[in-house]
Amino acid sequence: MYEIYGVAKEDFCHTIEDFRKRVHPEDLPGADEAMQEIIHATQPKFAQFRIIRPNGDIRMIQGNVTCIRDAMKQPIRLIGINHDITDQQKIQNKIQDQNDRLRKIAWMQSHEIRKPVANIIGLLNLCDMAKMDIQQHELLAYLKVSAQELDHLIKDIIERTKATD
């Protein structure tokens, strides 16, 4: 625990006051509320909060705490385990950011890119085939196939994106 909090053993007093002074100020109200829940709970409780180490580093902690009671069911001590989940939190945030970017790309695929492709397909269908020679018919056929292939690829990307939500 000393390593997580970045302090020497002799500098850690194991009191609620000592704990509170290490909790990030923005997380202190939630940590205080969690402490009250733990004191009144009959089962261990989990809580997440940030701490500030003496060197200024901010770490995300997940605590699993239970309240030890005397024979009269009065709280006498809190015991628990703290896990530094800072690296896990960073990875989760990075994954969330990547997912958000992919959703934006999918939206672009479905709205901004597909629209001109649909327009091209519509315009190709309006071309007057009777006034074209054989070479122009072949070029128009290749253009239609390519536009339809692109349209199918865009639709496939959209469907795959919907499957991840």
Pinpoint the alpha helices (H) of 10-127. Answer: 16-22, 28-40, 86-108, 114-126
What is the DSSP-derived secondary structure letter of residue 84? E
Whether 162 has a pLDDT exceeding 80, the answer reads: no
CA 68 – CA 139 distance, rounded (Å): 82
Supply angle C-alpha 78, 81, 85, rounded to 5: 135
pTM exceeds 0.85, yes or no: no
- Specify the long-range contacts of residues 125-130, CB closer than 8 Å, at least 24 apart: none
* 99-147: pLDDT as tens digits: 888 888 877 777 777 788 888 888 877 776 667 788 888 888 888 888 8
Whether 7 has a pLDDT exceeding 70, the answer reads: yes
Mean pLDDT of the chain: 86
Specify whether domain 2-84 bears CATH 3.30.450.20. Answer: yes
